[in-house]
Amino acid sequence: MGRGNLGRSLARAFRRAGHRVLLTPARHGVQALGRALLSRRRSVVFLTVPDGAIESLAGEIAAAGATPSGAAFVHCSGALGLGVLDGLPRGHAVGSFHPLQSFPEPRPPEAFRGSLVAIDASSDALRRRLQRLARDLGAKPRNVREAERVVYHAAAVFASNYLVALAGEAVELLRAIGWTEREAVAGLVPLMQGALAEVARRGPTVALTGPVRRGDVETVTRHLEALAGLDSSSRRGGGRKADVYRMLGRTALEIAKKAGLDTAAAERVDRALTRDVAATRRRRR
Ligand SMILES: NC(=O)c1ccc[n+]([C@@H]2O[C@H](COP(=O)([O-])OP(=O)(O)OC[C@H]3O[C@@H](n4cnc5c(N)ncnc54)[C@H](OP(=O)(O)O)[C@@H]3O)[C@@H](O)[C@H]2O)c1
């Protein structure tokens, strides 16, 4: 239920894998679901609606009596536990099935191949069934239980949404020196892909390169001065670019220490990252 980005992608992929699939509307679709389930009592119903709509849709399904025995109900949120399906009558197995992949639009079945799918279920039988379904898509099922879900989902946000946010920051910097967005993206994406390929091959500790990893304090300071200059000349102001650089620089510094950056160099970089370069610039003027 729910003909959005994930719903359409899952429907195509399950069809390709040989399953019988009915893709029904979520809004005003409960009666149709009820009729369909009468002849398909052992169905798994995937509620592929926005996270904030899952609980009320479960309530609507229960109120309409579209819950023949044998049917299981599954949501696809990464952050929510199974409690969001509590509105369904007791006796129904409930679960979650979260593909650790991004679907900004409906994507072809190949999108699931090799991706992880985080699974939880109220019964072992449904857990095993969802694991099989994930494997049918060429994906890798992994149990992620209630208590682990929010941290799991925060990791997903870092790896996906914030990666895009970082790309956006880098593109904006190049736009500030006159590049078009297309030129910036074309220049930066191969760099990002190379860095990611290294993370995949050797893990983040070994993959980290750059001034923080080398303990190159002068370069870090020059970056911060330039970013503070951009921040103060931009209409939004507020030190955003320099702050983002500092925060991520300190994260990179922790990795650099693990990778073997010596203590004295690490302390110098740490001081450079925490120094107020805007105040230093003002004093110099
Ligand atoms: N997109 C991703 O990258 C991704 C990845 C992993 C997991 N997920 C999870 O998958 C679920 C669906 O996400 P999505 O990105 O596919 O969502 P979406 O494309 O924004 O919308 C899903 C569908 O839900 C229905 N809908 C919209 N508003 C509704 C409302 N207020 N009440 C009931 N139904 C409503 C609509 O379908 P109808 O027109 O059929 O009513 C809509 O097409 C979410 O739980 C999300 O966390 C998404």
110, 126, 147 - which closes a domain? 147
Instruction: Note whether residue 153 is domain-resident.
Output: no
Cβ 96 under 6 angstroms from ligand 1: no
Instruction: Note whether residue 154 is domain-resident.
Output: no
Instruction: Note whether residue 113 is domain-resident.
Output: yes
Tokens of 33: 């679901």
Same-domain check for residues 106 and 185: no
Same-domain check for residues 23 and 59: yes
Number of domains within the chain: 2
* HSE of 81, CA atoms in CB hemisphere, 13 A: 9
Same-domain check for residues 130 and 175: no
Cβ 211 under 6 angstroms from ligand 1: no
Specify the pTM: 0.87
Same-domain check for residues 138 and 243: no
Q: Which domain holds residue 235?
A: 159-284
Q: How far apart are CA 200 and CA 69, in angstroms?
A: 44
Cα torsion angle, 213, 215, 217, 219, sign: negative
Instruction: Note whether residue 262 is domain-resident.
Output: yes
For residue 63, count CB atoms less than 10 angstroms from its CB and return exposed for 0-12, middle for 13-18, buried for 19 or more: exposed
Cβ 99 under 6 angstroms from ligand 1: yes
Same-domain check for residues 127 and 186: no
Same-domain check for residues 139 and 207: no
Task: Quote the pLDDT of residue 270.
Answer: 97
Instruction: Note whether residue 61 is domain-resident.
Output: yes
Task: Quote the pLDDT of residue 98.
Answer: 97
Instruction: Note whether residue 277 is domain-resident.
Output: yes
Residue with CA nearest ligand 1 atom 30: 53
Same-domain check for residues 170 and 255: yes
114, 147, 180 - which closes a domain? 147
- What distance in angstroms lies between residue 96's CA and the mean position of ligand 1's atoms? 14
Same-domain check for residues 141 and 10: yes
Predicted confidence pLDDT, tens digits, the chain (285 residues)? 999 999 999 999 999 999 999 999 999 999 999 999 988 888 999 999 999 999 999 999 999 998 888 899 999 999 999 999 999 998 899 999 999 999 999 999 999 999 999 999 999 999 999 999 999 999 999 999 999 999 999 999 999 999 999 999 999 999 999 999 999 999 999 999 999 999 999 999 999 999 999 999 999 999 999 999 999 888 655 568 999 999 999 999 999 999 999 999 999 999 999 987 666 666 666
120 pairs with which residues across the strands?
96
Same-domain check for residues 142 and 37: yes
Helix H or strand E encompassing 204: helix 204-207
CATH number, residue 119: 3.40.50.720
122, 147, 172 - which closes a domain? 147
